[in-house]
Structure 1
Amino acid sequence: MHELVQSVFDSDEKTALRQLIYALSTSGKRYFLRNEILQTFADYCQQSEKPAYFYHSSSVGKLINYTHEIILEEENTWFVIRPRIASPEVWRLTADLNRFELMKPQALLDVSDRLVNRYQPHILEIDLHPFYKSSPNIDDPRNIGQGLAFLNRYLCSQLLTDPQYWLDLLYLALDRLEHNGIRLLLNNRIPSGIQLAKQVKLALHFLSERHPNEPYEKFRSEFQELGFEPGWGNTAARVRETLELLERLIDTPQPAILEAFVARVPAVFRVVLISIHGWVAQEDVLGRDETLGQVIYVLEQARSLENKLHQEIKLAGLDLLGIKPHVIILTRLIPNCEGTFCNLRLEKVHDTENAWILRVPFSEFNPEVTNNWISKFEIWPYLEQFALDAERDLLTQFKGRPNLIIGNYSDGNLVAFLLSRRMKVTQCNIAHSLEKPKYLFSNLYWQDLEDQYHFSAQFTADLISMNAADFIITSSYQEIVGTPETIGQYESYKLFTMPHLYHVVDGIDLFSPKFNMVPPGVNENIFFPYSQKEDRDPSLCQQVNELLFNREDPQILGHLDNPNKRPIFAVAPITSIKNLTGLAECFGKSQALQEHCNLILLTSKLHSDEATNPEEAGEIQKVYDIIDQYRLHGNIRWLGMRLPSRDLGEAYRIIGDRKGIYVHFALFEAFGRSILEAMISGLPTFATQFGGALEIIENRENGFNLNPTDLAGTAKKILDFLDQCDTHPEHWEETSEWMSQRIRNRYNWQLHTNQLLLLAKIFSFWNFVMPENNEARDRYMETLFHLIYKPRAEKILEQHMNMKGTGN
């Protein structure tokens, strides 16, 4: 970057930089983000009649394209430049343009505080860098999110470097495995790593004389004499394969061998999935709008985990000992549950043998609050006591400690931290969506937003849990570090200020192997291609078809003048971030789209009086206004109802029958469950370029990623696709098949669960062999919890004690 900056200063391009800063200053603003900076520079290039290359390829053009933030002061201009993903730099340019120097991150945080008139000279600095400094780290940004592969390589290299030491550690890790007091894998006849290596060879010789299909129980006693307990396999062939992997790992360690061996180690039997603030129910209500995707995710993950653990236990030969998997979804019990089963303490998860929803009530404090549903922004005062109460109930239900705790969302992740810390259990975090990057300048103006959102508690909770977690699952690469053009969700926690509260100078190590991309799947019993006619219910098909296109209902607005037009389908909650108003306006502004298509919107609400907050009511009214403004009556159907999952699956397929398309027009989408559902159903799917959809669709020649702020460009992309379909009818089918196969091959629960359990085992071993820094890190997190988080949560509790119920 020094060279690039110097080339600007040593050329006539310095004038262009001066003119850009002047143009920004005339707006009256002082803080600018990337889009504004690029637009201003583009306007300058056009007005100055610069050649076409200048915007992208000149030195100043490159500098501006790397710039993500600019702050204007009287004496200086501050640049946040990101020459590489996950590597921001802070530069200060003096007003006379004579000096452009690299600054420490703290200087930017001070400037940001001054910008909002909240600067103070002495403020708490949070710096996590020392806790990652001595740990092995990924060095190539392209490999961020592939921590498992990195650790496999690293551990194998250590085995080669000091084989005796690491053989002993491997032995100790295997020797400590047990379940309910039953020893697994090894007994005291094998006292060391060297003896383990010898006994493996003897065991393999013993097995070579057995029939491959001979059940393990037939030679169990002989095997115990050799020092081996149950868990190696259910047949002679399976046991032999597992021991051969161990022998190869000892003799010639390789990442693929380590991964294959660890996958077979029976180390996970009891799993806790924490999802607190939503309606975690199965009948009719699967969470509220703000938690629907998370609840579906957790329920499907629980089913998949229990099924996979059953398979692992059987293949390990442990079902003969009566060992069964036990999966618990931990959530809150809601006494005023509005007709759901959320007031049941224990509920079995459908289609499982031993997966349960365990509901623990919040301590009462003010029953008018705690007996009702509580928004995710208000939940913070109750989490510590909830964790203590949940620990007792979990130990009772499991009759022992769990092997893995998985948090979901910010509140569940904080409880996962508290529980895993107390119970000494491996902790996994799944954010789903981090609020900080969704609300622009939410950290800078947190005091103004505190009464409504309580971001001081939430962002502190995020910092604590993401750093305390043993490993973090994300659905996409961009969730961690974004793209060259955008900042990742986790990356937004790297450097930020909470004026008058603290400065974060290094909030998370993005190169840590704890980050792992493990995208979720989709329920293929419900969501499957429209072309699988044999699996579709004709009566359901007729019923849902009538609902989408013809039925009159108080919760349906609009009659289609020509139902045979190609349908554009969208499914989303009616919130500003999901941007259905933008899609409706895009449709309204394009006469060509209206001539080709009908627009069908499926939301959970249709009327403003059904809204649970002012923002939602405003979005509902906006859709009505757009329909009237653009006279869309006759071209639009708006269904304001929550469809059961099987009906929703059929709805996607009916759109497919009519050769329709799906559009996901969110301003930002961390991942996008409905995108998976639409694509696997066979719908050509257009989705926002801001977020995880980039990776789901994989861009396919840039034809299906939309900029939701560019309505004309969106309409053109859709029309270009429809023109190709009209010219070449097979184009729709080819796109449909490609998208369906993309989801089936890449986004399925079997892949997800295999990877998740492998991560749990590898990181459990990692913590066993390198525990020292984790303990120091966790002590630091406890300090943040007690000195920052708890006082913030107590302020929220004070407000709640004076409130009447917050249930609606």
Structure 2
Amino acid sequence: MNELLQAVLNSDEKSALQQLIVLLIASGKQYLLRNEILQFFADYCNNYQKPAYFYYSSSVGKLIHYTHEIILSEGDAWFVIRPKIASQEVWRLNADLSKCELMSLQAFLDVSDRLINRYQPHILEIDLAPFYQDSPSIDDPRNIGQGLAFLNHYLCNQLLNDPQHWLELLFQALRRVQYDGKQLLIGDRISSGRQFATQIKAAIKFLSNRPANEPFEKFHFHLQDLGLEPGWGNTAVRVSETLSLLDRLLDSPQPAILEAFVARVPAVFRVVLISIHGWVGQEDVMGRDETLGQVAYVLEQARSLENELREEITLAGLDVLGIQPHVVILTRLIPNCEGTSCGLRLEKVEDTENAWILRVPFAEFNPEITNNWISKFEIWPYLESFTNDAEKELLAVFKCRPNLIIGNYSDGNLVASLLSNRLKVTQCNIAHSLEKPKYLFSNLYWHNLEEQYHFSAQFTADLISMNAADFIITSSYQEIVGTPEGLGQYESYKFFTMPQLYHVVDGIDLFSPKFNLVPPGVNQKIFFPYTQKEDRDFHQGKQINDLLFHCQDQQILGKLADSNKRPIFAVATLSSIKNLAGLAECFGQSQELRQRCNLILLTSKLHPIEATNPAEAKEIQRLHDIINQYHLHNHIRWLGMRLASGEIGEAYRLIADRQGIYIHFALFESFGRSILEAMISGLPTFATQFGGALEIIESKEDSFIINPTDLAGTAKKILHFLDECENYPHHWSEISEWMSQRILNKYNWSSHSSQLLLLAKMFSFWNFVAPENNVARDRYMESLFHLIFKPRAETILEQHLHKHN
């Protein structure tokens, strides 16, 4: 960046930069983000009649496009420049641009605090960098999120460089594999790695003379004589293949061989999925609005993991020993459960043999609160006592420790980190969505937002859990490090200030192999292409069709003047982030869209009085106001009712029957399950450019990627697609088929589960062979928990007690 800055300051473009900074100062703003900066620069280029190339191609244009934040303070301009993904620099330019200086992050955080008059000298600095210094690190930002592939290469190189040492470590790791005290894979007759390698070759030779499909039970005594216990396979050919993979790995270490071998090792039998605040039930009680997607994710993941584990156990030949997988979804028990199953301690997950929902109540403190559902923003005071009680319950249910703990969202991840530290179990984190990047300046103005959101506790919990985790899975690359145009969710934790609380100067190593991209799947029993007529329920379809287009109900707004127009469909909760009101305004402002299409909205509520919080009530009212403003009652159907998953699946297909389209109009979306559901159903889908949808759709020329802040531009894209459909009769069907196949091929639960289990095994092995820094890291996390998080949580508890006394 220094070269680019000098190119500006040592050329005629210096005056342009000065003029732009003067323009920024004149605006009265002191803190500007990238979109505002670009808008000011565009206005400057227009006002000063700069040639077209100047905006993008001039040195100052390039500098501005790399700049993500600007602070104007005491005559200086502080530029936060992001020359490439996952890399940021802070430069200070003085008033006359005679001096340009690379600044420390600490200095930038100080000036940020001064900006809002909350500067505090000698503030606590959180720096996690030392815990990653000696760990393997990814070099190329393009490979961030591919931690498993990196680790496979790294370990194979270690095997090549010091084969005897790593043979011994591999032997020791495999000898630790057991189930309920029963030794698997390697018995006591083998005492060293060298002997183990010899016995592998002997076993392969022995198996070469056995019938391929001979069951393991027929020859297991012979393998026991060689020191090999059950777990290598269920037939002679399976055992031989597994041992041959290992033999090849020892002779010629290659990442593909390592991955294939580890995938066959039966090392995971008991899994805990933690999802605490979400009103976790099945079908009719699948989450509240703020957690519906998370609960559906966890239930489908539990089913898929149990299936994958059962197949692994069978192929390893362990089912004949009575070994079976055990999956537990850990959540909270809610006494005032409104007639749902959320008051049951134990509930079997439907369509599974041994997956369960285990509910543990919050310690009482104040029953008026703890007996009821608690929002994700208010849950923090109850998590430590919940962890204590959950630990006892889990050990009682499993009758031993689990092999893997998976946290979901900030609260579940914090509990996962506490449990995994105590039980010494591999921990996986899944954020789904991090609140910090969703709320602009949420860290800088945390004092003002504390009463409503309690971000001081949440952001601290995030720092603890994401660093304590053995590995983190994300649904998209951008979730980690964003795009060239914007920061990733995890990247936003790299450095930030919580004025008068602490400064984070290095909050997470984005190049750590702990980050792995493992997108979820779709429940294909519920969501499948509209063309699969034989799998559709005709009677259900008739009822849902009537709801979508015709019948009148107190929970339905709008009566279509012409129900045969092409439908535009959207399914979302009513929040400002999901932005359904913005979609209605886009539709209302475009006369041509209204002439050619109807807008069909599916939410869970219709009236402000039904809202659970003021923000939701405000968004519902905003949507009503827009409908009235643009007189949309004859062009819109707004269903404010909770439909079952199967009914929503059929709704997508009914829209596809009419060659409709789906629009996801969120201002930000970490991933977007409804995008997967719509696409697999065969709906051409337009989705927001802000978030993970970019990676789901990956369309040529971004034809289906929209900017929800550009209403006219969005309408133009939709109308262009409609014109293509009318000009080329097969266009809609071709796009429909392409989108459906993309989800079927790339986003499926089987692939997700196999990859997740492979990660669990690999990182468990990594923790075994390189555990040193983890101990120091965990101690640091404990300090953050006890010295920062707990006092913040106790403050929230005092507020709760005060409100209800």
- Bin the TM-score by the shorter chain: over 0.9
Corresponding residue for residue 338 of structure 2: 338
Corresponding residue for residue 377 of structure 1: 377
Deviations 1:613-652 (A, max 9, x none): 1111111111111111111121000000111011100000
- Report the Cα distance in structure 1 between the residues aligned to 2:802 and 2:614, rounded to whole angstroms: 22
Corresponding residue for residue 698 of structure 2: 698
Corresponding residue for residue 603 of structure 2: 603
Corresponding residue for residue 668 of structure 1: 668
Deviations 1:662-698 (A, max 9, x none): 0000000000000000000000000000000000001
Q: Is the 8 A contact 1:269 1:309 kept in 2?
A: yes
Corresponding residue for residue 494 of structure 1: 494
Deviations 1:83-118 (A, max 9, x none): 000000000001121011111111100000000000
Q: CA RMSD in A?
A: 0.7
Query: Matches of residues 81-120 of structure 1 in structure 2 within 5 Å?
Result: 81-120=81-120
Offset of residue 803 of structure 1: 2.7
Corresponding residue for residue 548 of structure 2: 548
Q: Is the 8 A contact 2:18 2:96 kept in 1?
A: no
SS in 1 for 2:342: coil
- Report the Cα distance in structure 2 between the residues aligned to 1:634 and 1:372, rounded to whole angstroms: 40
Q: Is the 8 A contact 1:283 1:340 kept in 2?
A: no
Corresponding residue for residue 468 of structure 1: 468
Corresponding residue for residue 305 of structure 1: 305
Q: Is the 8 A contact 2:332 2:359 kept in 1?
A: yes
Corresponding residue for residue 787 of structure 1: 787
User: Does residue 188 of structure 2 align to residue 191 of structure 1?
Assistant: no
Corresponding residue for residue 518 of structure 1: 518
SS in 2 for 1:802: helix
Deviations 1:693-712 (A, max 9, x none): 00000133211011000000
Deviations 1:335-392 (A, max 9, x none): 0011211000000000000000000000001011100000100100110111111010
- Report the Cα distance in structure 2 between the residues aligned to 1:738 and 1:283, rounded to whole angstroms: 30
Corresponding residue for residue 277 of structure 1: 277
Corresponding residue for residue 37 of structure 1: 37
Deviations 1:754-785 (A, max 9, x none): 10000000000000000000111111000000
Corresponding residue for residue 506 of structure 2: 506
- Report the Cα distance in structure 1 between the residues aligned to 2:507 and 2:492, rounded to whole angstroms: 9
Query: Matches of residues 704-719 of structure 1 in structure 2 within 5 Å?
Result: 704-719=704-719
Corresponding residue for residue 686 of structure 1: 686
SS in 2 for 1:327: strand
Corresponding residue for residue 294 of structure 2: 294
Corresponding residue for residue 417 of structure 2: 417
Corresponding residue for residue 439 of structure 1: 439
- The code of the aligned residue for 1:755 comes to Q
SS in 2 for 1:290: helix
Query: Which moved further from structure 2: 697-706 or 160-169?
Result: 697-706
- Report the Cα distance in structure 2 between the residues aligned to 1:665 and 1:3, rounded to whole angstroms: 40
- Report the Cα distance in structure 2 between the residues aligned to 1:196 and 1:665, rounded to whole angstroms: 58
Offset of residue 75 of structure 1: 2.8
User: Does residue 761 of structure 2 align to residue 756 of structure 1?
Assistant: no
- The code of the aligned residue for 1:291 comes to T
Gaps of 5+ in 1: none
- The code of the aligned residue for 2:746 comes to R
- Report the Cα distance in structure 2 between the residues aligned to 1:595 and 1:726, rounded to whole angstroms: 15
Offset of residue 214 of structure 1: 0.4
User: Does residue 244 of structure 2 align to residue 244 of structure 1?
Assistant: yes
Q: Is the 8 A contact 1:571 1:601 kept in 2?
A: yes
Corresponding residue for residue 130 of structure 2: 130
SS in 2 for 1:213: coil
Corresponding residue for residue 615 of structure 2: 615
Q: List 4+ stretches of structure 1 deviating above 2 A.
A: 802-805
- Report the Cα distance in structure 2 between the residues aligned to 1:231 and 1:288, rounded to whole angstroms: 42
Deviations 1:63-83 (A, max 9, x none): 000000000012311000000
Corresponding residue for residue 10 of structure 2: 10
Corresponding residue for residue 214 of structure 2: 214
Corresponding residue for residue 260 of structure 1: 260
- The code of the aligned residue for 1:741 comes to Q
- Report the Cα distance in structure 1 between the residues aligned to 2:47 and 2:41, rounded to whole angstroms: 10
SS in 2 for 1:253: coil
- Report the Cα distance in structure 1 between the residues aligned to 2:76 and 2:550, rounded to whole angstroms: 63
Q: Is the 8 A contact 1:270 1:404 kept in 2?
A: yes
- Report the Cα distance in structure 2 between the residues aligned to 1:624 and 1:591, rounded to whole angstroms: 19
Offset of residue 718 of structure 1: 0.2
Gaps of 5+ in 2: none
Give the TM-score normalised by the residue count of structure 1. 0.99
Note closer, same or farther for the CA distance 1:412–1:295 as it changes in structure 2 (3 Å cut): same
Offset of residue 540 of structure 1: 1.1
Q: Is the 8 A contact 2:126 2:504 kept in 1?
A: yes
Corresponding residue for residue 726 of structure 2: 726
- Report the Cα distance in structure 1 between the residues aligned to 2:353 and 2:804, rounded to whole angstroms: 41
Deviations 1:501-544 (A, max 9, x none): 00000000000000000000000010001111111111111111
Offset of residue 161 of structure 1: 0.4
- The code of the aligned residue for 1:206 comes to F
- Report the Cα distance in structure 1 between the residues aligned to 2:684 and 2:731, rounded to whole angstroms: 10
SS in 2 for 1:138: coil
Query: Matches of residues 165-176 of structure 1 in structure 2 within 5 Å?
Result: 165-176=165-176
Q: Is the 8 A contact 2:283 2:644 kept in 1?
A: no
Corresponding residue for residue 632 of structure 2: 632
- The code of the aligned residue for 1:121 comes to P
Offset of residue 49 of structure 1: 1.2
Q: Is the 8 A contact 2:491 2:510 kept in 1?
A: yes
SS in 1 for 2:574: coil
Offset of residue 51 of structure 1: 1.1
Q: Is the 8 A contact 2:557 2:633 kept in 1?
A: no
SS in 1 for 2:521: coil
**Percent same amino acid at aligned positions?**
76
- Report the Cα distance in structure 1 between the residues aligned to 2:680 and 2:5, rounded to whole angstroms: 48
User: Does residue 777 of structure 2 align to residue 777 of structure 1?
Assistant: yes
- The code of the aligned residue for 2:700 comes to R
Query: Matches of residues 569-580 of structure 1 in structure 2 within 5 Å?
Result: 569-580=569-580
- Report the Cα distance in structure 2 between the residues aligned to 1:395 and 1:221, rounded to whole angstroms: 33
User: Does residue 389 of structure 2 align to residue 401 of structure 1?
Assistant: no
Deviations 1:153-200 (A, max 9, x none): 000000000000000000000011101011000001111110011000
Deviations 1:215-244 (A, max 9, x none): 000011111000000000000000000000
- Report the Cα distance in structure 1 between the residues aligned to 2:56 and 2:699, rounded to whole angstroms: 22
Q: Is the 8 A contact 1:273 1:408 kept in 2?
A: yes
- Report the Cα distance in structure 2 between the residues aligned to 1:701 and 1:248, rounded to whole angstroms: 45
Q: Is the 8 A contact 1:569 1:660 kept in 2?
A: yes
- Report the Cα distance in structure 1 between the residues aligned to 2:804 and 2:531, rounded to whole angstroms: 52
SS in 1 for 2:102: strand
Deviations 1:726-754 (A, max 9, x none): 11110000000000001011100011001
Offset of residue 804 of structure 1: 3.1
Offset of residue 2 of structure 1: 1.1
- Report the Cα distance in structure 2 between the residues aligned to 1:195 and 1:44, rounded to whole angstroms: 75
Q: Is the 8 A contact 1:416 1:427 kept in 2?
A: yes
Query: Matches of residues 31-70 of structure 1 in structure 2 within 5 Å?
Result: 31-70=31-70
Q: Is the 8 A contact 1:334 1:371 kept in 2?
A: yes
Corresponding residue for residue 539 of structure 1: 539
Q: Is the 8 A contact 1:671 1:691 kept in 2?
A: yes
Aligned residue pairs, count: 805
Deviations 1:282-318 (A, max 9, x none): 1411100000000000000000000000000000000
- Report the Cα distance in structure 2 between the residues aligned to 1:698 and 1:668, rounded to whole angstroms: 17
Deviations 1:256-307 (A, max 9, x none): 0000000000000000000000110014111000000000000000000000
Q: Is the 8 A contact 1:38 1:64 kept in 2?
A: yes
